[in-house]
């Protein structure tokens, strides 16, 4: 099912709008992640899609039909929340079958359907257990099966991984993607974890302060952020930010009077190459290594530079105090104006 939001604004009573002028189209069968900091409006947006909240302005359509005022029960939506929300007194099988019972599906049919979905999410060996006898990951699998059993036209997942430990989180994340591909159900997945969003989603919507900052694939958001917020929010380690006035005398590009901040990805800070390279260089700096930390496959190097403290992930092992000649490559560097808009992208404009 295609979901389309047109100029949606939503306010809670006597408060400024929580969502302002949202425009977004989710294609049939797409998995879109809603990514944003706490309080950015992610859950509010899911509740609006579910029909639990009505917008103050704008329209919501499902496959072209206006559902802005439609009752939640008529929307054919499956929801999964971070706290599983299973019925504690019902067995796994009865939990999964529950939506079918509500829809007056006959007992043999609903049990068969529930078994089928239990098998799909790999809890078919737990059918007689009560939820409290399951691990967090198993409970979340049951919640997923219960959401899918009624063949929803739209699946809404609100931080479904946030109560799971790291290993379970990765396992269930892959599982959600597999099930979503298998069933083809249009899905919105709310998260504040960029790794989850990057791993699972066809496209990512970055929300901040109730506004869509940018929509794109993980690579588009990382390589071509439209705003400083997106550039800083997507990618680890965090973007290096330098006041433009400090950096300008060193830069090889013509002055941009409206620029306020130079953003540099950690991989755009390299040692000056010994021979000429086709890669455009934005600036060269003399720096000193202050600290190196190895994190997984990354070696992060903190550097004292004339632009302040910067972080690189490209330098070889070297001791603290070592002087180095740094190159700032155009690729992975951005200039932002005072409003935070990207006005120069080293990948496109160099």
Ligand X SMILES: Nc1ncnc2c1ncn2[C@@H]1O[C@H](COP(=O)(O)OP(=O)(O)OP(=O)(O)O)[C@@H](O)[C@H]1O
To which H or E segment does residue 244 belong?
helix 244-247
- Residue choice 129, 192, 224, 299 for contact with ligand X (CB under 6 A): 192
321-338 core/surface letters (b: 16 or more CB in 10 A; e: else): eeebebbbbbbbbbbbbe
Determine the size of the site formed for ligand X (CB under 6 A).
12
Q: Is 74 in the site for ligand X (CB under 6 A)?
A: no
DSSP 341: B
Q: Is 44 in the site for ligand X (CB under 6 A)?
A: yes
- Residue choice 5, 8, 20, 41 for contact with ligand X (CB under 6 A): 41
Draw the binding track, 98-137, toward ligand X (x: CB under 6 A; -: no contact).
----------------------------------------
What does the alpha-carbon distance between residue 204 and residue 215 come to, in Å, rounded to a whole number?
6
**CA 98 to mean position of chain CA atoms:** 31
> Shortest approach of ligand X to residue 44 CB, angstroms?
3
Q: Is 38 in the site for ligand X (CB under 6 A)?
A: yes
Give the CA dihedral 320, 326, 329, 330, nearest 10 degrees.
110
> Shortest approach of ligand X to residue 33 CB, angstroms?
13
Q: Is 143 in the site for ligand X (CB under 6 A)?
A: no
Closest C-alpha to 138, from 102, 155, 163? 163
Closer residue to ligand X in complex, CB, 47/302 = 47
Q: Is 39 in the site for ligand X (CB under 6 A)?
A: yes
Q: Is 42 in the site for ligand X (CB under 6 A)?
A: yes
Q: Is 82 in the site for ligand X (CB under 6 A)?
A: no
- Residue choice 5, 17, 24, 40 for contact with ligand X (CB under 6 A): 40
E strand spans, 196-297: 203-208, 211-216, 240-243, 259-264, 269-271, 281-295
Draw the binding track, 4-33, toward ligand X (x: CB under 6 A; -: no contact).
--------x--x--x---------------
Q: Is 43 in the site for ligand X (CB under 6 A)?
A: yes
Q: Is 36 in the site for ligand X (CB under 6 A)?
A: yes
Closest C-alpha to 77, from 46, 117, 39? 46
Closer residue to ligand X in complex, CB, 159/337 = 159
Q: DSSP string of 284-316?
A: EEEEEEEEEEEETTEEEEEEEETTEEEEES-PP
Contact footprint for ligand X (CB under 6 A): 12, 15, 18, 36, 38-44, 192
């Amino acid at each position: 099912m295609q979901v389309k939001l047109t100029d949606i604004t939503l306010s809670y009573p006597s408060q400024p709008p929580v969502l302002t002028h949202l425009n977004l189209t989710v294609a049939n069968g797409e998995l879109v992640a809603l990514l944003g900091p706490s309080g950015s409006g992610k859950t509010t947006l899911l509740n609006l899609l579910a029909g639990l909240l009505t917008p103050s302005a704008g329209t919501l359509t499902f496959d072209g039909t206006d559902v802005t005022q439609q009752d939640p029960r008529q929307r054919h939506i499956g929801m999964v929340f971070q706290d599983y929300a299973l019925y504690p007194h019902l067995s796994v099988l009865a939990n999964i079958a529950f939506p079918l019972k509500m829809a007056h599906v006959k007992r043999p049919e609903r049990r068969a359907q529930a078994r089928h979905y239990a098998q799909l999410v790999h809890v078919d060996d737990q059918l007689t257990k009560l939820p409290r006898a399951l691990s967090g990951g198993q409970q979340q699998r049951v919640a997923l099966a219960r959401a899918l059993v009624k063949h929803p036209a739209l699946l809404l997942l609100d931080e479904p991984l946030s109560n799971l430990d790291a290993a379970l989180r990765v396992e269930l994340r892959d599982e959600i993607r597999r099930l979503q591909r298998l069933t083809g159900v249009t899905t919105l997945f709310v998260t504040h974890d960029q790794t989850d969003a990057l791993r699972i989603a066809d496209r990512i919507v970055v929300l901040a302060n109730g506004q869509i900052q940018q929509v794109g694939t993980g690579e588009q958001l990382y390589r071509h952020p439209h705003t400083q917020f997106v550039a800083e929010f997507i990618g680890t380690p965090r973007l290096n930010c330098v006041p433009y006035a400090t950096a300008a005398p060193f830069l090889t590009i013509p002055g941009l009077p409206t620029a306020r901040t130079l953003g540099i990805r950690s991989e755009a800070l390299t040692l000056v190459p010994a021979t000429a390279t086709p890669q455009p260089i934005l600036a060269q700096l003399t720096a000193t290594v202050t600290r190196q930390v190895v994190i997984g496959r990354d070696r992060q190097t903190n550097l004292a530079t004339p632009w302040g403290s910067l972080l690189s992930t490209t330098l070889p092992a070297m001791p603290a105090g070592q002087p180095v000649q740094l190159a700032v490559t155009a690729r992975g560097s951005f200039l932002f104006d005072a409003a935070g808009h990207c006005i120069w992208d080293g990948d496109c404009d160099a």
